A and B are shown apart, each in its own frame.
Chain A
Amino acid sequence: MLEIRDLTVAIDGESTPILKGLNLSINSGKVHAIMGPNGSGKSTLSHVLAGHTGYSVLQGSIQFMGQDLLVLAPEERAILGIFLAFQYPVAIPGINNMYFLKEACNRIRQGRHEKSLDAVDFLAQVRTHLKQIGLDESFLKRSLNDGFSGGEKKSNEILQMLMLQPKLAILDETDSGLDIDALQAISKVINQQRTPQRSWLLVTHYQRLLSYIQPDYVHILYKGRIVKTGDHNLALRLEKEGYGWLQAEATHTVEGHD
């Protein structure tokens, strides 16, 4: 489904790359976790997949469902089915949360040649999802992410994901900032949303999330490359030993590959 080859990326206008020849492929229905120290390029990878224009791709390619992703605008990628739950969702004062959700939902449905949801169906769906993630309905009346607590922002991202039904969901540190109850609720919905057609890229620092959501693969992103790939045990090892041991290995390990 997703095929990243030799991806080399720098901040727009700069020459030192953040991602340095990254390779990763993800098949449908699989859950891939990406772990790595702060500043290793996890959010950069997420942003580049979603089409953020603040970066320039110096080298490499990204294929998504047989298409060249790099030539598509962010909204086209969203319509194709890429969803990014942001690590730091931005606030947009003055835009009503529910209004935004409905606009997004219908733009994406339109792009996918699906029927727009009428107000009744839309509300019914939103209510169901709100309950699943344990949010109050009054949440919809507020301005988008404006004055939301850290946890509320993350929950709102998941609410959007549930409404937009992506093919590839990229969750950038969604677990950071959530309390245990919220984390459990959200893990539960994610597990329900695992289907053979949907793939996941979970960016996280903590193996705790991965004990709720069993990943098929765990990758370690280190200094701009995937230096190790394994299963849940790799996450457990990181939890115990930290990232220090990678330094030694990074020099002679061929990067992970599926």
Chain B
Amino acid sequence: MTDDTKVLDLIAQQDYEYGFVSDIESDTFAVGLSEDVIHRIVDRKCEPKFMLEWRLKAYRHWLTLQEPRWANLRFKPIDYQGISYYSSPKSMKDRPKSLDEVDPKLLETYRKLGIPLHEQQKLAGVAVDAIFDSVSVATTFKDQLAKAGVIFCPFSEALKEYPELIKQYLGTVVPYRDNFFAALNAAVFSDGSFVYIPKGVHCPMELSTYFRINAANTGQFERTLIIAEEGSYVSYLEGCTAPMRDENQLHAAVVELIALDHAQIKYATVQNWYLGDEQGRGGIYNFVTKRGVCRGAYSKIAWTQVETGSAITWKYPSVILRGDHSVGEFYSVALTRHYQQADTGTKMVHLGNHTRSHIMSKGISAGHGQNTYRGLVRVAPNAVGVRNYTQCDSMLIGDQCAAYTFPCIECKQQAHLEHEASIAKIGEEQLFYCQQRGLDSENAIAMMVNGFCKPVFDKLPMEFAVEAFKLLEVSLEGAVG
């Protein structure tokens, strides 16, 4: 094996920085799933009655479903009875009223994660809701947001404070009947974030949630619901990490977005769950259902995702373009290395007239990584003036990895649809060429990857674009030299 092959092989073998376990006492249910567990979750969280009914319906429906296996993913069967469906840090039993009341150990955890909550209060602009295992821990900036009329709080709190809003919207975009994992999530989700932007309000700051799985053998099932009323605007970012463990852990989240007339929602994800080790042991199974509906005319929903973690990623953030002239966007960078597998993409469903969508997917595979883009553009038979532009690029680093694309179009009438795809390979020859021009192999790879991803990073809020680039650079640097 030559040095360059080694470089290529070692790329992406960088240690997972976030793989520490916090030594925090937690209140965790015994493993297993039954109606009783759902009753206990509802009790523990003092949820209103309609939730219990909804969850039980979801659970009973879930029992009739099979785990989906159509994706281009290979994984060992998941033992759903071997997972604990609720875990909350003990000290959270009496929920803190402010940051000062938050367990210092938790705060330390967040500091290690690079989210200094205290500092973020000073740094103008980002309100953070942090979800630790299944429970929302602290939300900053609440007061300032309240002044603007914006609601940004843990889902559990929203259930108590705004049950009517939840009742009106929950499950309207992703019904529990949608798929296996959506049903499971509806049955057992324990927390998440809730955002409500009133009519005409431009949310005064970026909203942000950090998720972390800490306890062993727990699944994380959070649920996010964002409602943007007429003419409002919100930009939202979620980040996630998990400790390194030899066994796989399940994460099955649901995100629902609703944009009314002229409303705009930007939803960005920097997903960095633990990916497993070089042999492919451990890592998070990430089965996520994310969907937005552009209900109103001229509304807009944009998904941006930077997916660098998880052993398995199964995720298709989608937009239902119901309102005339509404716009859906999907910008994605997905990196797979070691033995990671990602099957990700989007669905753009054009129901309204003059609806437009733009898809840009950048898949990077290194090591033994497998990267699949799966996309669907569907145009309803009576929708006129529909446009879609899809660009789907893959980059292969080394020769053990793979990339696949499955773009799919369902359209029976006149529409303007464009598709472009490319594949670039970074091999020894490209590396040598760069080195001959004075760049070391790390510079060279960083430069090539950055150039490749830049169009997507440009869509992220500034401070996160920097973070995303660093994350990718760190992931790809590997143990060179």
Residues of A in contact with B (beta carbons under 8 Å apart): 12, 50-54, 73-75, 78-79, 83-84, 86, 89-90, 92-96, 99-100, 103-104, 107-108, 111, 160, 164
Structural contact, B429 and A99, CB atoms closer than 8 A: no
Stretch touching chain A among B89-97, B271-279, B340-348, B445-453: B445-453
Q: Distance in Å from the Cβ of A12 to the closest Cβ of chain B?
A: 5
Structural contact, A12 and B424, CB atoms closer than 8 A: no
Q: Hey, what's the 0/1 contact readout for B433-459 against A, CB within 8 Å counting as 1?
A: 111111110010001100110000000
- Of B424, B433, B443, the residue contacting A93 (CB under 8 A) is B424
The residue in A54, A74, A84 that gathers the most chain B C-beta atoms within 10 A of its C-beta is: A74
14 sampled A-B residue pairs with Cβ under 8 A: A51-B435, A75-B439, A78-B437, A86-B433, A90-B430, A92-B424, A92-B426, A92-B448, A94-B393, A94-B448, A95-B447, A104-B437, A111-B438, A160-B437
Structural contact, B438 and A95, CB atoms closer than 8 A: no
Q: Hey, what's the 0/1 contact readout for B406-431 against A, CB within 8 Å counting as 1?
A: 00000000000000001010101110
| Complex: chain A residue closest to B453, CB-CB | A94
- Of A73, A75, A94, the residue contacting B424 (CB under 8 A) is A94
If the complex has contacts A54-B2, A90-B429, are A73 and B451 also in contact, measured as CB distance less than 8 A? no
6 smallest A-B Cβ distances: which pairs? A104-B437, A74-B435, A108-B438, A107-B438, A53-B2, A78-B438
Q: How far is the CA of A53 from the CA of B1 in the complex (A)?
A: 9
User: Does B29 have its Cβ within 8 Å of any Cβ on chain A?
Assistant: no
Residues of B in contact with A (beta carbons under 8 Å apart): 2-4, 393, 395, 422, 424, 426, 428-430, 432-440, 443, 447-448, 451-452
If the complex has contacts A53-B428, A92-B448, A94-B451, are A75 and B438 also in contact, measured as CB distance less than 8 A? yes
Q: How far is the CA of A79 from the CA of B393 in the complex (A)?
A: 33
Q: How far is the CA of A95 from the CA of B426 in the complex (A)?
A: 12
- Of A75, A78, A95, A108, the residue contacting B451 (CB under 8 A) is A95
Q: Distance in Å from the Cβ of B430 to the closest Cβ of chain A?
A: 5
Structural contact, A74 and B436, CB atoms closer than 8 A: yes
If the complex has contacts A53-B4, A92-B448, A94-B452, are A104 and B429 also in contact, measured as CB distance less than 8 A? no
The residue in A89, A90, A160, A164 that gathers the most chain B C-beta atoms within 10 A of its C-beta is: A90
Structural contact, A50 and B428, CB atoms closer than 8 A: no
Q: Distance in Å from the Cβ of B15 to the closest Cβ of chain A?
A: 24
- Of A53, A75, A84, A86, the residue contacting B3 (CB under 8 A) is A53
Q: How far is the CA of A96 from the CA of B447 in the complex (A)?
A: 10
Q: How far is the CA of A94 from the CA of B395 in the complex (A)?
A: 10
Structural contact, B430 and A73, CB atoms closer than 8 A: no
Q: How far is the CA of A64 from the CA of B393 in the complex (A)?
A: 42
Q: How far is the CA of A52 from the CA of B4 in the complex (A)?
A: 9
Structural contact, B438 and A96, CB atoms closer than 8 A: no
Structural contact, B2 and A108, CB atoms closer than 8 A: no
Chain A positions within 8 Å of B429 at CB level = 90
| Complex: chain B residue closest to A92, CB-CB | B430
Q: Distance in Å from the Cβ of B234 to the closest Cβ of chain A?
A: 32
Q: How far is the CA of A100 from the CA of B429 in the complex (A)?
A: 16
| Complex: chain B residue closest to A84, CB-CB | B436
The residue in B4, B426, B436, B452 that gathers the most chain A C-beta atoms within 10 A of its C-beta is: B436
The residue in B393, B422, B437, B447 that gathers the most chain A C-beta atoms within 10 A of its C-beta is: B437
If the complex has contacts A75-B439, A103-B447, are A12 and B2 also in contact, measured as CB distance less than 8 A? yes
Chain A positions within 8 Å of B430 at CB level = 90, 92
Q: Distance in Å from the Cβ of A184 to the closest Cβ of chain B?
A: 26
Q: How far is the CA of A89 from the CA of B443 in the complex (A)?
A: 19
Q: Distance in Å from the Cβ of B121 to the closest Cβ of chain A?
A: 38
Known: A75-B440, A78-B438, A92-B433; 20 extra A-B contacts, CB below 8 A, are A12-B2, A50-B432, A51-B436, A73-B440, A75-B435, A75-B436, A78-B436, A78-B437, A86-B433, A92-B424, A92-B426, A92-B430, A94-B448, A94-B452, A96-B451, A99-B451, A104-B434, A108-B438, A164-B437, A164-B438
Q: How far is the CA of A12 from the CA of B434 in the complex (A)?
A: 20
The residue in B3, B422, B434, B448 that gathers the most chain A C-beta atoms within 10 A of its C-beta is: B434
Chain B positions within 8 Å of A94 at CB level = 393, 395, 424, 448, 451-452
Chain A positions within 8 Å of B395 at CB level = 94
Chain A positions within 8 Å of B447 at CB level = 95, 100, 103
Chain B positions within 8 Å of A52 at CB level = 432
Q: How far is the CA of A52 from the CA of B3 in the complex (A)?
A: 9
Structural contact, B2 and A107, CB atoms closer than 8 A: no
Chain A positions within 8 Å of B440 at CB level = 73, 75
| Complex: chain B residue closest to A55, CB-CB | B2
Q: How far is the CA of A177 from the CA of B395 in the complex (A)?
A: 29
Q: Distance in Å from the Cβ of B9 to the closest Cβ of chain A?
A: 13
Chain A positions within 8 Å of B424 at CB level = 92-94
| Complex: chain A residue closest to B429, CB-CB | A90
Q: How far is the CA of A104 from the CA of B443 in the complex (A)?
A: 10
Q: Distance in Å from the Cβ of A153 to the closest Cβ of chain B?
A: 11
Q: How far is the CA of A95 from the CA of B430 in the complex (A)?
A: 11
Q: How far is the CA of A108 from the CA of B433 in the complex (A)?
A: 14
Q: Distance in Å from the Cβ of B67 to the closest Cβ of chain A?
A: 37
| Complex: chain A residue closest to B393, CB-CB | A94
Q: Distance in Å from the Cβ of A15 to the closest Cβ of chain B?
A: 16
Structural contact, A100 and B437, CB atoms closer than 8 A: yes
| Complex: chain B residue closest to A79, CB-CB | B438
If the complex has contacts A53-B428, A99-B451, are A73 and B437 also in contact, measured as CB distance less than 8 A? no
Q: Distance in Å from the Cβ of B71 to the closest Cβ of chain A?
A: 27
Chain A positions within 8 Å of B434 at CB level = 92, 100, 104
| Complex: chain A residue closest to B424, CB-CB | A93
If the complex has contacts A94-B452, A103-B447, are A73 and B438 also in contact, measured as CB distance less than 8 A? no
- Of A12, A50, A92, the residue contacting B436 (CB under 8 A) is A50
If the complex has contacts A54-B2, A94-B451, are A89 and B436 also in contact, measured as CB distance less than 8 A? no
| Complex: chain B residue closest to A109, CB-CB | B438
Chain B positions within 8 Å of A53 at CB level = 2-4, 428, 432
- Of A12, A73, A160, the residue contacting B435 (CB under 8 A) is A73
| Complex: chain B residue closest to A47, CB-CB | B432
Chain A positions within 8 Å of B3 at CB level = 53
Chain A positions within 8 Å of B432 at CB level = 50, 52-53, 74
Q: How far is the CA of A83 from the CA of B436 in the complex (A)?
A: 7
Chain A positions within 8 Å of B437 at CB level = 78, 100, 104, 107-108, 160, 164
Q: How far is the CA of A53 from the CA of B452 in the complex (A)?
A: 26
Q: How far is the CA of A93 from the CA of B452 in the complex (A)?
A: 9
